[in-house]
Structure 1
């Protein structure tokens, strides 16, 4: 049972769907990934409601059943099938499924089969996109004398050159879309597939030697194959590039002859050393590759070629292979005589006498710089627009897919911009396509300058561009606002005049925007939405940005209007301060907290929760904070002239941006001096979140203000940073227990534990504690019994305008 549990645990960690079919009991176990691919929940997959054939597409069932039947009857060595399924949500998907027997009965019949399946739907869709780049790849592939091909990560051929066609005696049209299983026997195909996987899992090219037997006459040829993983900019594998050349004859010569003159007829560079690895001979190809003559290297160790790019572990593994297997081959970085570092494919073989003792080492080397360059060129042709060098549609769709997945995980909103140049056809018709191409190049440069480093600008074709904006905000309206700002920046930049040789030209664009913020949106759906919005922008007169969602457009307009009104409110001082009473354990007033309110002349009283975040974002919090501080100090001045209120402490909230203004300390001191108030009666409240950045700066600012007599309270304590390392260094007078802990104090033991801990911590540091959000007598009683002596909340009094507050004080 323990072994079975470990097995189940292991398969749940795989990225592919896994099933385990017990033919004796006819029971099947399915992994969570299998359920995810089939659109099923975990609670129903491993019972009699689900069978392995339930979701197979009706048209594919005969083929699948035939494959299973052949395997169960030992007609095939492996069960493999690529077919369609209809998942529980009605979506049609392509999957690649493989199974193998892990147990058989005495008759050799399978009794237990374990299989894996992978969702290959995206591959099936991308296969068509690859056809667009075939014409561009053809010229480059044909020029390479070796066999060259490109496969998808699933092992499906995407393209090949004419040398590959000739070698296998098939046209490219008969190869593309197929796998190795369509051309060679299953064991050789399995070997090919395993080498593909090694290349995709390795950071360096993988080299393999493979015998190919031709069915027509039965002869065999040995290929030396270099397989290299192709990556996108995010480091994801997008394919495998293979380059092979026939080494049958070379291997035959190497196996039959020892050290003799024949090695120097080879085209590869050759080195012969003695058993102590001292160079005895080199050939002309060695000199051509490295730049060293024979007289310069004979008698020396081959390490004179070392580039230091390969570490000690690399060389240790190389010599272990030579010692244990008699040879090693692989890619290595070496250094030429002129200091140039270059990639080299190196083969080292140990030569032994009749007693098995190593007498010499023979190394063959090939400069693969051109192969690397060819692989890079193929990647560029496959994934980038040849004119602007921006990502093409294929690469853009892949990046958009990753952006959608990332947005679903992080809940951060993003946006897709669809950009179409206005009346671009007129330019092509009047000045020609060469000038039009020149304009597109300038547009690409300007678009890149308008976005952040992590965003993607791509060209779909013609005068159509798309941009993916990621991680804009967790809030939808803020994400929309940032999208609009970027869109307006693009409109402004693209509308500036262009210098096109002898012509100066001006053009505008229309932009459609679609926000993405959940996993249900597809790439095609987003592109369609942004395209629709772009045409709406053209209908509005061009040179405009339009959002797909009308409600979001309304929200953006409302946000812009609120920002405009907030500027007016600052200039006209429309704000008011409300005051909420703070009492001690005897019910005596000890002070109040000043809370800003905005009585809008048309919309009435606007909550701070609505306008303060906007003010923080646009730096309007600075003048607002200055007004609050000035108004609060003026009120303290009036209170000091009345015996009833002369000892009240007034708390004022300070934002992070306000605190870190270079003149904040002098502003506070000047305001205190202006109204000639007792600084001990002014308490500045800061929040824990303000301690996350520039903590040393914060401590310095607070310390300078403390010398004037100003007091500090740490607001919302317990909800954020709470680092004792800095808490003991902060010049605090008070910790303010957050109302989220007070609210459930009578029913939630964990909240009671937190509150007792905060009070004990404050007492040990010599700080006061005050609890906010006190709404019931039971809450106040519990706090008082546990050492908290100051209180604030609706039980004691709501925030009130100054006249109502002072009336309540008298009563």
Structure 2
């Protein structure tokens, strides 16, 4: 509506006005029609009645003699741009379309959409502008709202996109671009299933659910273009069609990245079910797999195979070459075992140098299973025969393999494992570096072993264990103390000696709980003796199994027992076996030193029958060596046994250790020991193990002045 001087080449428009009917038509338009002259003031020549609804001013307000012009109510910031756009369109001989803001008579702001064209005369000069004005405010606000919503969707961290019902993407926010690495130009127009190569079954399941139920929630793993995989938690929501708005039905998808959570879950699962050193399935994973294999065997009446593999000389290599070399060896063994079997078979590490191989139940006969097992076992032994390179050196390794076949519902995880373990020991007995099948003849012994272990479980809870005390006597005949000996007093009256059940307790691990009971009961008894003047000087020797001592909380448990019973730790003597000393010298020494600081004494039991070396004796805080009974039996008739006993006594004396001989049954044996310089005796010559009351009577009857020197504690 501003003055235009431009000349146009097209013919002029017809000027003049129509009849009353035309004015009525114009007054009913949703806007206003105008005509203004191309003069200095853009004089409004005509404005339809609709201009009042737009501006708040009646049409006459813009016509002479009024000085108000339409251009003056245009928002000042928009005037220059509007004039420029109209000028450019007219210069090209085209109609113009502009949008801008005006200030109404009441001071309100409205958006106006204007479309018009120049009116020219016969010479091509512009004589007027004619056009149409419409209220654009609601459209502009709606557009702003849409832009705002789109902006907010773009700022969302989740991936948000929209598909039509055919699965074609029609909206794609920045979160989707960031998560999937696909820009909107690539995504929009593509089918979702094609964009990520999703399995058809997974897509159909989600699509069917959202169409039937209106929503689907679930997880999807999507393969991206860079060959990586992103794990997502998705929610698909059906947005119904809106007839009033003219929109069709769509599917709104909100997707969150759960890759970190899924990866963490995978790491936790791997830690729980895989051995960190060899990357093989661990005991927990194996036991679960074996359980399912037994169920499948019973259900399908097929034969499966379990192989128990134990390395023959691993301990020696681990001790001489170090733990790092031992770890490398175990890793090499794991890889060789994996190469010996198919992908459907299982190799697992139970712990230490113990491995198992599980062949699924596939054979119809035991003969078929045995042939399959022999083939795999031979392959394993063949691969093991090749030396392993450790730190530049070659190290030979062999294995003993126990094999058992299983089929039907009569087997359990425990029984199958025990059979394979028993067969493995048969292979070791046969010279190692070989394999053996489980011999049914062993079944009876194994069943008895199982029954014994079951009975041991209830023995503790039913209070069937008791302690006997065998006197330990000095060279002057005085009772110095006792050794606590466990007995199993069955409900039927039978008394079972430790030799008949300790091995079963160690094999099942129950020795730890039993040992804890022994230590607590013995300390309670010793605290009772300390309250009596006649026996307050006595010491008490308590056997500690290797499994019990190696428990991480052994020292803490022992301290708690001392505190609970009120015993004087300086009267407690813990007896350890030689096998414990070579298991883990560093850890053993640390625990001994900790307890030694409390006053606890230590005795090395069955000295001379195991693996002891002088280096161990020098490194560990021992107080006593115990000569094993096996050397005492023939000490009077065998030169070699006599020499061994004298050597042990001399060794103890040179190291400042007390020496006690077990199994002393005759005066001749006692005299021999006395002449050799032995410090103390224990055996049937004095008394077998006695109940607590019997021991008190014996100790009181053989009371002497409290011993001095090493016996003083």
| TM band (smaller chain) | 0.3 to 0.5
Q: Scaled by the length of structure 1, what TM-score is found?
A: 0.37
Rg larger in structure: 2
Q: Which has the higher contact order (CA 8 A, sep 6+)?
A: 2
TM-score (norm 2): 0.41
